[in-house]
Amino acid sequence: MIEDRLTKEILNTLLRNGADFSEIFVQRRVFNNLRLEDSKIENSSSGYELGCGLRLWVGDSTFYAYVDSLEKNKLLNAAKVLSSSINGSSSLKVLNLVETKSSYNTSVKKFPDKIHPGSKKNILEAVDKSSRDFSSTIIQVTSTLSDTREEIYIANSYGAFSFEKMVKTFLAVNVVARKGKDIRTGYKSLA
């Protein structure tokens, strides 16, 4: 997400005025949400988020900046502004970056953001039908299908970095049943 050379330059810029520790956190996220209520689509949304958080520590104090871009000049400018919030100097330098492997393992056959929305609608319609077919007392069904694909990059002034890709899918159904004057609700989710 960010080249090693730029990562080191940012971390060293954060350290230069006396910080004890610096860190970069980058997140790229693609998400989709689809909600079916009363057998029709009530809400459909999708989005893309990208941002970079910069943090430095001096003693017990923490300083933070956020940039909604990965452009070199914007990242370095934010690092300079953040570093200027402290006074001093530092001999600390980041020379090498060593990857820390995550134990998080995802095996994905097909990324959810690559699945056509019509196929997702079919899943929600099947949930709706199955719920309604369960009992004639079911009077309302609301189901939601959400998916997220996320990439996270973290690097710090100790020279450690990690890059992770995560895929999350969430299906939830809420049902309302009525028998006479008695109304009950039920909820189930799968992640």
Q: Is residue 106 over pLDDT 70? A: no
Neighbour tally for 118: CB within 10 Å: 7
Q: Is residue 92 over pLDDT 80? A: no
**How far is residue 133's CA from residue 37's CA, in Å, rounded to a whole number?**
16
Q: Is the dihedral of CA 60, 23, 163, 68 positive or negative?
A: positive
pLDDT tens-digit readout, 3-15? 999 999 999 999 9
Q: Is residue 154 over pLDDT 90? A: yes
**How far is residue 9's CA from residue 18's CA, in Å, rounded to a whole number?**
15
Name all domains of the chain by residue range, CATH numbers in brackets.
Answer: 4-190 (3.30.2290.10)
State the pLDDT at residue 105: 66
Q: What is the pTM of this model?
A: 0.78
Residue 14, SS3?
helix
Per the CB < 8 A criterion, the answer to whether 124 and 161 are in contact is: no
